[in-house]
Chain A
Amino acid sequence: MYNQIMDTVRPQPGTLSRPWAGFAVAALLLLLTALPARAELVIQVTEGADRGIPIAVVPFAVSSGEEVPEEIATIIRNNLTMSGDFQLLEPGRMLSLPTFGDTLHYRDWRLLGQQFVMLGSLERQDDGRYVLEYELYDVSQQRRLIRSRATASRQQLRQMAHHVSNRVYETVTGIDGIFTTRLAFVTRTREGGDLLYRLRISDIDGVNPVTLLESDEPILSPDWSPDGKELVYVSFEGGRPGIYRQTIASGERERLTEFRGLNSAPVWSPDGKSLLMTLSKDGSADIYRMVLGSRNVEQLTRHWAINTEASWAPDGRSFVYTSDRSGSPQIYQMDRRSGDSKRLTFEGNYNASAQFSPDGKSLYFVHGRDRQFFIGMLDLESGNQRILHRTPTDEAPGIAPNGRLLIYVTRQGNSRSLELTTTDGRSQFRLPIEHEGIRDPAWSPLP
């Protein structure tokens, strides 16, 4: 019996083959409806709180006698806080609590140094759906920027809050909001003495987790397809590593590789048609490219040292990877046309797992010095390298698709938490949600 549990991959909602797919959806809905009226935890700003645009999100009016399952205003406040671009006014310091534009006095907000004010009221309709009417005002210009109405079912309230956050964020900054994106990650926990791995996805704030795969054997390296509908990852089910591709909605999945030796570090190409991966079938760990249509693999690097952790440049003309051909892991860039590799990092004796910023101008990677690890950043134009000192982590961060944030896991003793840093390294936030044994966060593309 014990033997059977070993090496078995327990199907979970979302991981199932077709006959189970209907059940999976049902289970998912059940999970969502079962959500209690939660007290929304507030995001902890660990560093650099005072750098953003001052904005006040006034507590929303709620139609009388209604119990509201989600604190919409708090979710929006959390979102704007974790964007790193805003500084939120605590509701306790507000001089008045208007719920509609007619009752808004610009003077009050100017006095508090606010540049923007958001108001809203939530109402429950007869059909059970919720309506949020919301407005955004520019205090200095004394002008209304948004007046809008969003409706959602009880289950969709959180999503609605994220959607509204995007609108506010985009209106003020002109940058894509990332609040409806998702996070993929792996948890490793001990249950009854055995290690248990789970591949999960959640909202970007870590809430609403769904398990896609559960296994006694390691799961590693999830990466989102460019359309956000699929993941590739490494799973050791059966005792050997393989690269798998899984459709998130249906849970359908297929094994792409089971070569002798390594099958690791899969990443999608920007056009979604191929993968880069690390294989060692020909002796040493090298980067290969697999065309998803034909499943043909082509060897791209050739060196008896380690070559792994490939990641495409957004323009698809080159990719970066980690190699220890110089005695320690460093980051190299290979030009696809010429096939030439060039070393990019020269500071510190551990630079690994690089990823491009969405604009292709910089790299983020794991930088080690004196056996301590941080997120490093390299400006590709100038060749200047710097370290985000307040981000101790030794695994690759997830990069927000708008290029403004990095998400990573920090450890304190045995507990792990999700943290965000702005890409300039100035502000850090800790997400209140906890996932035991969380690792390997990967940020989805924009929906």
Chain B
Amino acid sequence: MKTMNLRFLVMLLLLAFVAGCSTTDTQDDAGLTDEEAAAQAEERAARSRAFGAGSGDGISDEDLSQEERAARDARRAAEEGEDLRQERVIYFDFDSAEIKRESRAVLEAHAAYLNSNGNASVTLQGHTDERGTKEYNLALGERRAEAVKQFLVVNDVRRGQIETVSYGEERPVNESSSEEAYSENRRVEIDYN
């Protein structure tokens, strides 16, 4: 997912650069060369397939109509999202409110759901481990919740659908004092209202 995305970004920038160069260099450029157009088409095809071809069920795309294919993709994406959406806890490092890249898919699934269900809303509960001062931890929990909120907003979720609250170190899921317990407690819980 990540490399795919980076490749896409690089591609975009390259294309912009190429386009910029070509318009200044040659006036009679009619647009894309055949090769470029082919490459782009291939790229798009590769992209759209890359999303839908998760399970490889042996049915070729050609066998389905355009509508059928779209419906299937949507259903499958929804199922996949539903699985991801079962994950409702995002974890953090000590004294950090940075969302880890590994949490991205889960958060995107929540964003997609909130996007397509405008009436749904969530409360993001920020928590910390027990170490450090209580008030700083309240602020840290708040910032963790805010970071998750920012991510959802960037992914098109309306601000009105999201509330945040920080409990700092007051609501641990694991009350023992070990590194393991600490890492379980540094979290944001996504609660659907």
Contacts and interface: CB of A to CB of B under 8 A. Distances in A.
A262 B131 contact: no
Given A218-B170, A240-B165, A262 B139 contact: yes
Contact of B139 (A221, A264, A368): A264
A324 B140 CA distance: 10
A328 interface: yes
A329 B140 CA distance: 10
A278 B134 CA distance: 13
Contacts of B146: 261, 280, 283-284
Contact of A285 (B95, B133, B139): B139
Nearest to B138: A264
A280 B131 contact: no
A188 B170 CA distance: 9
Nearest to B165: A240
B165 A322 contact: no
Interface in B77-99: 94-95
Contact of A373 (B131, B140, B166): B131
A324 B133 CA distance: 13
A352 B139 contact: no
A220 B135 contact: yes
Given A218-B167, A236-B167, A239-B165, A265 B135 contact: yes
Interface in A222-271: 236, 239-241, 261-262, 264-265
Interface residues of B, number: 22
A241 B132 CA distance: 20
Given A285-B143, A329-B95, A322 B133 contact: yes
A133 B20 CA distance: 99
B90 to A, nearest CB: 18
B164 interface: yes
A329 B132 CA distance: 10
Interface in B124-171: 130-136, 138-140, 142-143, 146, 164-168, 170-171
A244 to B, nearest CB: 15
A394 B132 contact: yes
Contacts of B138: 220, 241, 262, 264-265, 278, 308
Chain A: interface size category: 35 or more
Contacts of B168: 218, 220
Contact of B142 (A280, A324, A395): A280
Contact of B133 (A188, A280, A353): A353
A366 B133 contact: yes
Nearest to B136: A352
A241 B170 CA distance: 12
Contacts of B133: 309, 322, 352-353, 366, 394-396
B139 A306 contact: yes
B132 A261 contact: no
Contacts of A308: 135-136, 138-139
A371 interface: yes
B135 A350 contact: no
Nearest to A310: B135
B134 A395 contact: yes
Contacts of A394: 130-133
10 contacts: A188-B170, A236-B167, A239-B165, A262-B166, A264-B138, A264-B139, A308-B136, A329-B95, A350-B95, A366-B132
A278 B167 contact: no
B180 to A, nearest CB: 14
A306 B147 CA distance: 13
